[in-house]
Structure 1
Amino acid sequence: MSICPTSRRRFLQSAAAASMLSSLPGLAGAVTANAGGKSAPVSGTALRWLDGKPPARFDGATLGVPWPRGTLRLPSGKRLDFTLGAGGPAMQSWPLAYWPDGSLKWTAHAVAGGTPADGWDIQAGGSGGGTVSVRQAAGRIVVTAGELVWTVPASGEYLVASAARAGRVTMQNLKLVALRQDGPEPEGAGSVSQQPFTSKVTKATVEQTGPVRAVVKLDGLHTGGGRDWLPFSVRLYFYAGSDSVRIVHSFIYDGAPEKDFIRGLGVTAQVPMTDRTVDRHIRFAGEGAGVWGEAVRPVTGLRRDPGQAFRDAQVAGKALPPLAGMAKPVQDGLRWIPEWGDFSLSQLSPDGFTLKKRTQPGRAWIDANAGTRSKGLLYAGGAAGGVALGLKDFWQRAPVRLDVRNAATAMADVTAWLWSPSAPAMDMRSYRGEDGMDTHEKQIAGLNITYEDYEAGWDAAAGVARTSELQLWVLGGTPSHETLSAMAGQVANPARLVLAPARIHGCGVFGDWDPVDTGTPARRLVEDRLAAQLDQYLREAEQHRWYGFWSYGDVMHAYDADRHMWRYDIGGYAWDNSELSTDLWLWYSYLRTGRADLFRFAEAMTRHTGEVDVYHQGRFKGFGTRHGVQHWSDSSKQPRVSNAAYRRIYYFLTADERVGDLMRELLDSDADLAKVDISRKLAKQPGTPDSQHVVASFGTVWGSLIAAWLAEWERTGDTRWRDRIVNGMETIAALKWQWFTSAAPYDHRTGRFIGPGDNPGFSNLNGVFGVVEMNSELLTLVDVPAYRKAWLRYCRTYNAPKEEIVALLGRDPGGRGMSETNSRMTAYAAFQERDRTLALRAWREFLQSGELKRGPALPRRIDGPAVLRPLDEMPDISTNGSAQWGLAAIQHLALVGDTLDEAARAAGLVP
């Protein structure tokens, strides 16, 4: 199949990028450009820190780097050799995605930990350095990283059997734990029982072997009392230059919600304690840069003074001087000082944590301290070594807990609880009952009042998943407060190397967007409104506490200005679940701005929507849940929510393997469209010929499926996924009314549509779940002229005057909602057809609501007894509107930005 020529804009992007790359020295040799069959040097690529400055601590990181089409090719040896220049850290590189011509589209790069510089340049050259290696032996995998040796069993209870530092076993028996409770918390009289579970690894896969990064994937289940449940997938990441392992922990809830309540879910390890108890130390990260630290047997604050040197050493976490030099009364009285063995930091809400300790089990806890938001890191050990264990998004995921147990014995336990046993048990039951909705007619009536589609059995939580990120350090001694504070910062906000927006944009990836440009008054007006909407959502997450184990990362759908609350309890107006492409709005906003706060907001959403809002096993596997009060409560299960387009940008920017797994899970989900009938409550459409076909919409269904197929084709070069996309394109174009048909019978075996397609119409939802963005990319990657023509005709016509619709279709079928945001289709047609008149029409359509005429988007302050806490409110805010307006503005600026000033003057927005 031939590949269509790039558009003029994309040609200019690629040419500019190639020119920029070749103008810089250093990338000749292992990787070369290919221009007309001739090799030419291609320059390095500047890396910068997401937060704009070097972090206090750097334990290694991985990022994706795009390249213009035809610029780089994988050498015959299948090895990519890049460096970060003289004096830079070691780096490991591998292919991530390919252009249709076989050239590299994305490469991934793992950078070794160490002392961070202001930034580095990627250059060609031998990839020297790196101290990570992997050796596989019978029943185990041994990873060596510097002086650390990690032993990973290939099966059984433990994720890591031991970690030795300079020959001393400093950590052992790392495993997963869970507590099941057979009912909710008793209300009044009654009792519940609990059952412990531990991990059982059934499969171990070495995914990378160094020299900078090694990755081991472990799959298994939690087991206990003759039962296996809660399937998990854990990846262990080992970096050169780091004393830690990064742990990415994913599990699926597969219980019966009425009787399987998770009371605790955690990651635990043991720490050999060989130091005297006066030399054993416990540390917890507190608020901000704060650290709480004490000894198992303290010598400060005593009635008798041991001496300044002893007090200073213990506070610093160092071994005390020889006890012979200690004041005699303290020497004689050491045995009477209590040994504190158990410590616990419990964060039960995003607004508060408590610290307590006790001497041993069976004794009372005493309160040690408290605070608001901990960064989620503990340390247990001593002068001979110890372990630090941290949980990312700690307070945001509350209820969580960090424990140290048995620190006064020969073997301490450290545990990071992803769900704290101090909290009520996790309740996965439906929030509502059938309430008389026992027929489809009644359910539709309920939908019409609450906007949530209920159906018994279709609001099940079984099959949803959650991913958590942890980091575990194996250290040669107790870290100072300053060092532990820096480690806590790494846990809460991992250091990221990124590219500038212009560098990514110059490669022509991700369709129609461009970096922020406020060069004219009209552009500044649009950019300011874009920024104001984004800032408000960042504000809303905090002031309405969009946090919690299952909810962090999602946003609410609609606002209730009467209550000054989001409609968290009103059916489909509650959690958004990716409705109308909120994820894409955030990711394109990050691409344009490079803002760190937007990256983290979008990252949290990707972690949430790809896991919690999607089913990973069971009858709904591969489908996502429409917006509702609970993330799984609406009975509409659709691919428009599980859409890989919402994960794909994050995947290529970060090379995150878990998100790669999630996209790959969706490749065959169209085979179950008939089993999970989206239209089962609606009047059946005629024309479905047999059981192998299901009527599928072009935008909400097919447009969501193609993102997974595109990602797989890019990642592997396997053309069957490209061909599957092309089958859909060709058969849509072959229908009488093409895209105007909106939906047609679909054959999942071939990816083809059938039928005459002789009933034209519009669906305002067809263009708002990523298909516009996907088409913008696909039409530069595959050459299907009939489909391109059909799509352009649909784009040009969607917002056309009524008389043009009637002239084309013979009647006005209606259904053309959201004309303002769908004006981006007009803009796309205008750009592709070089039609300035159509470009001005696109701006008129976009500006028609008067959104920009209202002046700056400023929130109003609401305080006093009207609200729970003071807040800054935009009473007309809507996530649907914000996401789609933002995406439309971004695409307009990229496609027809050169006509904005003229359009804005005509609309009276600028002089």
Structure 2
Amino acid sequence: MTDFSRRSFFKTAALPVGGIGGLAGLAGATETVAKPAAATSTNTAALRWLDGDAPALQLGATLGLPWPRGQHQKTQDFHAVDTQGRPLPLQTWPLATWPDGSLKWTAHALPAGVDIGTAPVVHPGKGAAVASMKVSVKEQPDFIEVDTGIIRARLPRQGAQLIHSIERDGRELLSSCTLVAQTDDKPDAESGGAITHTHFQSRTTQLTVEQTGPVRAVVKVDGQHRSAAGREWLPFSVRLYFYAGAESVRVMHTFVFDGDDQQDFLRGIGLRFDVPMRDELYDRHVRFAGEAEGGSRGLWAEGVRNLTGLRREPGAAVREAQLAGRATPPLEQWGPQVCKLQHRIPAWGDYTLSQLSADGFQIRKRTKAGHGWIPAAFGRRAPGSGYIGGATGGVAFGLRDFWQRHPTQLDIRNAHTDAAQVTLWMHSPEAPAMDLRFYHDGLGMETHQQELEGLEITYEDYEKGFGTPAGIARSSEITLWVLAATPTRERLVQMAAAVQTPPQLAAHPSRYLQAGVFGKLWSLPDRSTPTRQKIEDRLDFLFAFYAREVEQRHWYGFWDYGDIRHTYDADRHEWRYDVGGYAWDNSELSPDIWLWYSFLRSGRADIFRFAEAMVRHTAEVDIYHAGRFKGLGTRHNVQHWGCSAKQARISTSANRRFYYYLTGDERIGDVMREVLDVDQKLDKVDPVRKIAGRVDKGPWPARIGFGTDWGSLVANFMTEWERTGDVRWRNKLLRGMKGIAAMPHGFFTGSGGYEPTGPNEGALHNVSGNKLSASHLSAVFGGMEMMTELVELIDEPAFKAAWVQYCELYNAPRDEQVKALGAPHGGGTVLSVGHSRLSAYAAAQKQDRALAKRAWGEFLADQRFGARPLKTTRIAGPLVLNPVEEAPWISTNDTAQWGLAAIQNLALVGEHLKD
């Protein structure tokens, strides 16, 4: 048995910064250890660098800050100062407002190349003038030009190029930046017959300037990939971020798979650009960053024409200069034989770093096309960064989550010519093509009854044609540096670290709490009593367990990274990765929300990075962004898109709004906009269409459940109302609130007829008569969190009373249910621990000590999950492929719901917790 207490967790499982820029850190990979943040600070107005100290490279930073209701109006000015109180350039824009129109969230951008300090502060009011570089945007009929003060980029409005060129000091150092893709018409050679490869290149359809500075400029490029034959597909959206004083460009790339999974086997997709090569071959330098060991990161560094290891000596100064990436001394200072015969030394033009699995990469090179590849180096986990250029300039580049999202690849071609070509492959063309076909043939399930039999045995909700990947997406983050000279080895290593874990500013937990954002359902960690200590230890243990599982179970890969598994198979000592509805979790029972509340209360970087990787996955892969199911998400399955239950409870903004407000991330903002009209799909893709005895929709356009359906829509509408102030969304919410309040049994009516559009959009109508109905799932997909925020934002007393009633009675003894409702509500006792937080909420609202005591009784009575010892068992030998540390009693459903109940009960009725 392995004791996994809080003390041993921080001692042995502290998470690396370079990991889970995603989950790598959770991998226990050999990276720099992240420092858990303190829960409080003497200056709650001061910001902090999420991962500890101020970053070595200042690339420009953006963050979201919360404000209490009524404190600042939308016209409020803000200014920033560094740690010593000196003014900093600042750009501010609103992210959300309170119902009274006052600011709720603001986003702030700080420039690159400026010493921001370890604890900058953003203050309300105008500050001192700051003389500094500004980013500028000039719009022309055919292109847009962005100037950071260091680099100048030209972005065409049409054509194949995302970036025509980037100049520095008047010299073009990057050009012809495009997107490329490759597909096969068969998944592999076993399919029989020759495989036809088709190549595609980007075509811009729209260029949009979203921000024009003065600190941060954002340009969005939308388009599709096009083949030589004229086929257009794989729509993409690319945002280019420019910061004042920056020599780098941040690229956020998103594509949607909108093909036929039976014949479109995507092999490679990448970003490609050219780098002019002006230096002599021996003054051209190639770099690839390596894995970090013991706090330092390795680097593979060579010249295009190497001057070391020769039979004749060029001179120590020559060798040292080339190794350092500096221009070599004049030829007359070289050894005479090398000076005379240097043209006989091979020039290596082509280089590839391929990461085809999570545990191995290879670097190889060749002189040029048509000649053999030579193995050059091997390693375990590459951070995905490199450089090509010379003493007079070049480009450094990096792809985030490189090894975590394998198969990936970095290519440099033609470095011996006048222009090297670089391709950052988000999916390597050397790996097998993506095979996104459904994983079984239907197993003879043709009728509804047969589908129910499948659900009975494997928990898989199968329906022919529903397990399609058409419409899923993936986003990738790339950084490009346009440099005046080859960077030092130390600086390039810093760049690689910044790619894998982009520096992120954040507020202190106490500031989020005091502002009242995300409701009143969380508090700061408190270990002041033995029982509180045990709860906090278990919360730490559960996160550490999943962090460890990511590495132990290798939950990596292009489509998989960021998700976690649903249920464990103790017999196989493995998660049920191949069993119907028990495999990938796909946000089932809100692990996303559990993680974000855990971050808010602790401020820990490791939790943030874990949740960040999850939101990148669930916002893209688990949601449809085009096609028949656009706006809907997919329930848990062997494949992320495999289940026929396409539901709003997975795509809901409840899972994503945390990250958006904390970072101001535009891509997540896009996704939350995409799901706004998902209520119009609820009739065509009824989430309970297979359930016998369900209530019909009556004369209304759709039928909707009050929990997993309407509760999910609440998050979508509420977020858009906060973001825009558009009363349409408030009115849509209010009509639903009034509808539920008017039901015979409020939330216990269960469902109603729904009007998704029209003059009465959002209205709910009784179609159940006096029937009672309750589901154990209604409150566990963000319902609890969204309803408690909603009643604070919109004053509708009858609705609040209905919600408090639901919270009080769901876990209530049967006689209390009968007394209040006339009969038991039928929700059963499943997830009673998770629902203890509903009891706690009702107790807090009613100031009812007895109800608070009941809530803690419901929570602490759990012997199946909440009382298990915080230990794992080591399984080794022939029982498993690799040794594992397991805790078979842990499931993701229980973890998320127990974690949320623990956090929320402590906040709501913590004073009633007795030892």
Structure 1 residue matching 2:47: 3-state secondary structure: strand
Residue in 2 aligned with 1:347?
355
Equivalent residue for 1:864, pick from 848, 869, 877: 877
Deviation at 1:855, TM superposition (A): 5.8
2:736 pairs with 1:728: yes
Residue in 2 aligned with 1:236?
240
1:404-462 deviation line (CA, Å, top 9, x unaligned):
00000001001100000110011111111122001111011001111111111100000
Residue in 2 aligned with 1:422?
430
2:727 pairs with 1:713: no
1:804-844 deviation line (CA, Å, top 9, x unaligned):
11222222242222111101110000001111111011000
2:529 pairs with 1:525: no
Equivalent residue for 2:323, pick from 304, 315, 324: 315
Structure 2 residue matching 1:586: 3-state secondary structure: helix
Equivalent residue for 1:700, pick from 680, 701, 708: 708
Residue in 1 aligned with 2:13?
none
For residue 125 of structure 1, what is the amino acid of its counterpart?
Answer: K
| Structure 1, gaps ≥5 residues long | 1-42, 906-911
For residue 797 of structure 1, what is the amino acid of its counterpart?
Answer: L
5 Å matches for 1:803-818? Answer: 803-816=815-828, 817-818=830-831
Q: 1:108 to 1:523 in 2, by over 3 A?
A: same
Structure 2 residue matching 1:869: 3-state secondary structure: coil
Cα separation, 2, equivalents of 1:707 and 1:454: 28
2:888 pairs with 1:875: yes
Residue in 2 aligned with 1:171?
174
Cα separation, 2, equivalents of 1:708 and 1:826: 26
Deviation at 1:517, TM superposition (A): 1.3
1:710-763 deviation line (CA, Å, top 9, x unaligned):
111111111110111111010001011111111111111211111254101221
Residue in 1 aligned with 2:773?
761
1:56-107 deviation line (CA, Å, top 9, x unaligned):
22211110000111111122xx765555474354221111111111111111
Residue in 1 aligned with 2:339?
331
Equivalent residue for 1:561, pick from 570, 573, 578: 570
Mean alpha-carbon deviation: is it higher for 514-523 or for 169-178? 514-523
Structure 2 residue matching 1:859: 3-state secondary structure: strand
Residue in 2 aligned with 1:194?
197
Q: 1:851 to 1:517 in 2, by over 3 A?
A: farther
1:870-908 deviation line (CA, Å, top 9, x unaligned):
2211111100000000001111000000011x2xx3xxx
Cα separation, 2, equivalents of 1:418 and 1:307: 41
Cα separation, 2, equivalents of 1:785 and 1:674: 30
Residue in 1 aligned with 2:12?
none
For residue 359 of structure 1, what is the amino acid of its counterpart?
Answer: T
1:362-418 deviation line (CA, Å, top 9, x unaligned):
100000000000111010000111011110000000000001000000010011000
1:508-528 deviation line (CA, Å, top 9, x unaligned):
011111111112211111000
Equivalent residue for 1:252, pick from 252, 256, 271: 256
5 Å matches for 1:575-654? Answer: 575-654=584-663
For residue 597 of structure 1, what is the amino acid of its counterpart?
Answer: D
For residue 513 of structure 1, what is the amino acid of its counterpart?
Answer: W
Mean alpha-carbon deviation: is it higher for 85-94 or for 612-621? 85-94
Residue in 1 aligned with 2:797?
785
Asked if the contact 1:74–1:80 (Cα under 8 Å) also holds between the matched residues in 2, the reply is no
Deviation at 1:120, TM superposition (A): 1.0
For residue 751 of structure 1, what is the amino acid of its counterpart?
Answer: G
Structure 1 residue matching 2:337: 3-state secondary structure: helix
Cα separation, 1, equivalents of 2:743 and 2:558: 46
Mean alpha-carbon deviation: is it higher for 394-403 or for 509-518? 509-518
Pick 1 or 2: higher relative contact order, CA cutoff 8 A, min separation 6.
2
1:564-606 deviation line (CA, Å, top 9, x unaligned):
1110000110000000011001111111111111101100000
Equivalent residue for 1:552, pick from 538, 557, 561: 561
Deviation at 1:240, TM superposition (A): 1.6
Q: 1:502 to 1:474 in 2, by over 3 A?
A: same
Residue in 2 aligned with 1:6?
none
Deviation at 1:335, TM superposition (A): 0.9
Structure 2 residue matching 1:361: 3-state secondary structure: coil
Coordinate RMSD, CA, aligned? 1.4
For residue 516 of structure 2, what is the amino acid of its counterpart?
Answer: G
Deviation at 1:111, TM superposition (A): 1.2
Equivalent residue for 1:742, pick from 747, 750, 753: 750
Structure 2 residue matching 1:524: 3-state secondary structure: helix
Cα separation, 1, equivalents of 2:183 and 2:155: 27
Deviation at 1:195, TM superposition (A): 1.0
Deviation at 1:333, TM superposition (A): 1.3
Residue in 1 aligned with 2:8?
none
2:283 pairs with 1:279: yes
Asked if the contact 1:80–1:94 (Cα under 8 Å) also holds between the matched residues in 2, the reply is no
| Structure 2, gaps ≥5 residues long | 1-42
Residue in 2 aligned with 1:35?
none
Deviation at 1:53, TM superposition (A): 1.3
For residue 756 of structure 2, what is the amino acid of its counterpart?
Answer: H
Asked if the contact 1:463–1:617 (Cα under 8 Å) also holds between the matched residues in 2, the reply is yes
Residue in 2 aligned with 1:751?
762
Deviation at 1:689, TM superposition (A): 2.5
Residue in 2 aligned with 1:543?
552
Asked if the contact 1:338–1:359 (Cα under 8 Å) also holds between the matched residues in 2, the reply is yes
Deviation at 1:864, TM superposition (A): 2.4
Asked if the contact 2:211–2:218 (Cα under 8 Å) also holds between the matched residues in 1, the reply is yes
Q: 1:159 to 1:507 in 2, by over 3 A?
A: same
Asked if the contact 2:80–2:89 (Cα under 8 Å) also holds between the matched residues in 1, the reply is no
Residue in 1 aligned with 2:117?
117
Structure 2 residue matching 1:219: 3-state secondary structure: strand
Deviation at 1:185, TM superposition (A): 1.1
Cα separation, 2, equivalents of 1:181 and 1:88: 55
Asked if the contact 1:525–1:852 (Cα under 8 Å) also holds between the matched residues in 2, the reply is no
Mean alpha-carbon deviation: is it higher for 514-523 or for 709-718? 514-523
Residue in 1 aligned with 2:29?
none
Structure 2 residue matching 1:143: 3-state secondary structure: strand
Cα separation, 2, equivalents of 1:850 and 1:86: 53
Residue in 1 aligned with 2:40?
none
For residue 787 of structure 1, what is the amino acid of its counterpart?
Answer: F
Asked if the contact 2:624–2:631 (Cα under 8 Å) also holds between the matched residues in 1, the reply is yes
Cα separation, 1, equivalents of 2:233 and 2:661: 32
Asked if the contact 2:473–2:624 (Cα under 8 Å) also holds between the matched residues in 1, the reply is yes
Mean alpha-carbon deviation: is it higher for 367-376 or for 797-806? 797-806
Cα separation, 2, equivalents of 1:610 and 1:855: 33
Under a length normalisation based on structure 1, what TM-score does the superposition of the two structures give?
0.93
Deviation at 1:677, TM superposition (A): 2.0
Cα separation, 2, equivalents of 1:188 and 1:461: 21
Equivalent residue for 2:691, pick from 669, 682, 685: 682
Deviation at 1:130, TM superposition (A): 4.1
For residue 875 of structure 2, what is the amino acid of its counterpart?
Answer: I
Structure 1 residue matching 2:342: 3-state secondary structure: helix
1:274-328 deviation line (CA, Å, top 9, x unaligned):
1000000000011111110100000011011100000000000011110111001
